[in-house]
Amino acid sequence: MEYFAKEYDVIVIGAGHAGIEAALASARLGCQTGLFTINLDWVGNMPCNPSIGGTSKGHLVREIDALGGEMGKAADANMLQSRMLNVGKGPAVHSLRAQIDRREYTKYMKHCIEKQENLELKQGEIMDLIKLENGLWQIRTRLDALYTAKCVVLATGTFLGGRVYVGDVSYESGPDGMFPANALSIALKKLNVPLRRFKTGTPSRVNRRSVDFSQLEIQNGDDEIVPFSFDNQRELENKLPCYITYTNEKTKEIILENLKYSPLYSGKIEGVGPRYCPSIEDKIVRFAEKERHQIFIEPCGAETEELYLQGLSSSLPEHVQLAFLKTIPGLENVEVMRTAYAIEYDCVDPLALKPSLEFLDLEGLFGAGQFNGSSGYEEAAAQGLVAGINAALKAKDKAPFILDRASSYIGTLIDDLVTKGCSDPYRMMTSRSEYRLILRQDNADIRLTAYGHDLGLISDERYNKFLEKMEMIKSERNRIKRVSVQPSKELDELLEKSGTAPLKTGVRFSELLKRPQLNYELLKPFDKDRPDLPKEIFEQVEIEIKYEGYIKRQQAQIDEMRRLEVKKIPENIVYKDVVGLRLEAQEKLEKVRPENVGQASRISGVSPADVSVLLIYLNKN
């Protein structure tokens, strides 16, 4: 028998990485929030890689933290090993990555949610979702409890209509053996939500005792650990190493012989898989010329013997998986604890969403994470944070919070999804941002902390510390532009040793620092008045000085982009009435319904000529 249980301001469905950030943001902004999950023990679960960050993903985590999200703090608290990637390249592509204790991470996030004021965590499968005549959204649980809210955030991950594939075996399931969310998928179809099928996969987990580490390359963490959170107060340390091994010709031979048993190649899987994280059988076929593929063997936790085989995602039959695993050095006697599988699930076409992540045609309904067609914990958390903020603002009748492409990787991610859409699971990459020299992970707090404070997610105490940091950066930048360095025998020897020309006259310290061969640390003996400042201050100043010309050029591009972003497009515009607009452009603009000319210019199928026509029309009307 149905019964009315409670009314919330915001309801979040799903307690994965997107749902967690959405619910915490909503509650921290003062909204009564309900967070519903199929299983309380799987809050913040990592069904795939037990890691946070990585190339471009580290940028997202630091941006989430700068806005007041939780993922960075949780990663720091449960880190097993930390490494900064791409350090041999420029600062724009430096990215932090950490191995995480997955069960401790889950425990941390669950407790964080339980303690959060204005937030209730509930176990229950959502069976129905409808819009009531009074404008509220209503959900019904499997136990026939009815809850209403002004706004609902869908953060269903890979549970929605989930189906697992291992060879010929196929069954309805969420990740890690959880129940799938089938009824909710049906309910969304009744609402005319444009769903489609995507797929992803995960590798085997194996027992540590069965691995011969003497055949593996060890991969230790960095000596100097950089935290994800700008507000980190913890002493961080590397607790466990990772290892590297490789596939070989025998591995390739077994996979190719059994390719016909892969549901990916037999046609059983309908969903589109991730382009940038293919299964091992897909890699063997697509990169046939490669003799071997790198495999990372990573710990799942400090108190478990379970190891994760990154790079070996597969949906081949269990016995085939075991056969090819035993061809890999170090895994000859491997004991598989969890078999690799592929999972197919329903997700939305993100072109149905606004930049606020609210649906175009379903007011008060928001999407976040893998439900929006993305892949990755970090992409999910970033969208969850924005969706949660905007659901709370909507519930309070306030204007939405929109991050543009020039503000952040989060803004780029969301703009890509809602403007360009995605034909396969979307993964963030540094190459997706045209402003990546400005959108570095090291300055995420400089770019976004003020937004977080204005919203109410960053405390006054933390904001004041941030302002002190900004003042230190400004003061040090001004100092090195004033201070002169005179030629000397010792300095000339250093310059020649570093591969740069000796001085003929005195120069400003800032001019010397611009040389690519030099840095603060090398020049320290010649900087007599150097103040005692945190390392991050010198890092910021050095980057600003070295890349000053490039940064100015990129800022000019941003100013031009924002000039178009300011030009708003009326919601009631009829594109077929815009004389001179091509038919394809009319159709694309009508589908996406961009909020401004800048967004319109990035839609696939809308040409610069179409944008010019649109600008003329808007100016006239």
Say whether both 511 and 388 belong to one domain.
no
C-alpha to C-alpha distance for 504 and 569, rounded to whole angstroms: 58
**Two structure tokens written together for 70:** 């939780």
Q: Is residue 472 part of a domain?
A: no
Say whether both 73 and 189 belong to one domain.
yes
Say whether both 135 and 275 belong to one domain.
no
Q: Is residue 596 part of a domain?
A: yes
CA atoms within 13 A on the CB side of 312: 36
Q: Is residue 130 part of a domain?
A: yes
Say whether both 586 and 531 belong to one domain.
no
Q: Which domain holds residue 309?
A: 205-344
C-alpha to C-alpha distance for 108 and 104, rounded to whole angstroms: 6
Q: Are 215 and 329 in contact (CB under 8 A)?
A: yes
pLDDT at 430 (0 to 100): 92
One-letter-per-residue 3-state SS of 31-88: CCEEEEECCHHHCCCCCCCCEEECCCHHHHHHHHHHHCCCHHHHHHHCEEEEEEECCC
Q: Of 344, 367, 396, which marks where a domain is finished?
A: 344
Specify burial of residue 505 (Cβ count, 10 A radius: 0-12, 13-18, 19+). exposed
Q: Of 498, 518, 550, which marks where a domain is finished?
A: 550
C-alpha to C-alpha distance for 40 and 110, rounded to whole angstroms: 8
Q: Are 61 and 444 in contact (CB under 8 A)?
A: no
Place of tokens 């959880």: 178
Q: Is residue 251 part of a domain?
A: yes
Compute mean pLDDT per 10 residues along the chain, 621 residues long, and list them.
96 98 98 97 94 96 98 98 94 95 98 98 98 97 98 97 94 93 97 95 96 97 96 94 97 93 75 74 89 96 97 95 98 97 96 97 98 96 98 98 96 96 92 94 98 98 98 96 91 92 91 92 90 94 94 92 89 90 91 91 89 89 78
C-alpha to C-alpha distance for 158 and 42, rounded to whole angstroms: 13
Helix orientation angle between 460-482 and 535-546, rounded to the nearest 10 degrees = 50
Q: Apex CA 149: angle with CA 393 and CA 154, to 5°?
A: 75
CATH number at residue 239: 2.40.30.260
In order, the DSSP letters of 259-277 are GGG-HHHHT---SBPPTTS
Q: Is residue 35 part of a domain?
A: yes
CATH number at residue 580: 1.10.150.570
CA atoms within 13 A on the CB side of 48: 22
The number of distinct structural domains making up the chain is 4
pLDDT at 565 (0 to 100): 87
Helices (H), 78-218: 102-115, 182-190
Say whether both 310 and 418 belong to one domain.
no
In order, the DSSP letters of 278-326 are --HHHHHHHTTT-S--EEEEEES-TT--EEEEET----S-HHHHHHHHT
Say whether both 167 and 44 belong to one domain.
yes
C-alpha to C-alpha distance for 187 and 189, rounded to whole angstroms: 5
Q: Of 294, 316, 344, which marks where a domain is finished?
A: 344
Long-range Cβ contacts of 537-543 (<8 Å, 24+ apart): 537/469, 537/472, 537/473, 537/476, 538/476, 539/442, 540/442, 540/443, 540/446, 540/473, 541/473, 541/476, 541/477, 541/480, 542/513, 543/91, 543/440, 543/442, 543/443
Q: Are strands 145-154 and 3-13 parallel, antiparallel or unpaired?
A: parallel
- Has this prediction a pTM greater than 0.85? yes
Nearest Cα to Cα of residue 364 among 10, 4, 5, 8? 10
Say whether both 419 and 374 belong to one domain.
yes
Say whether both 450 and 485 belong to one domain.
no
Say whether both 51 and 171 belong to one domain.
yes
pLDDT at 276 (0 to 100): 64
Say whether both 57 and 169 belong to one domain.
yes
Q: Are 226 and 82 in contact (CB under 8 A)?
A: yes
Query: Going by C-beta distance under 8 Å and a sequence separation of 6 or more, which residues neighbour residue 511?
Result: none
Q: Is residue 469 part of a domain?
A: no
CA atoms within 13 A on the CB side of 58: 25
CATH number at residue 121: 3.50.50.60
Q: Is residue 470 part of a domain?
A: no
Q: Is residue 476 part of a domain?
A: no
Q: How many CB atoms lie within 10 A of CB 452?
A: 24
Say whether both 39 and 134 belong to one domain.
yes
CATH number at residue 513: 1.10.10.1800
Nearest Cα to Cα of residue 55 among 100, 94, 90? 94
Say whether both 149 and 111 belong to one domain.
yes
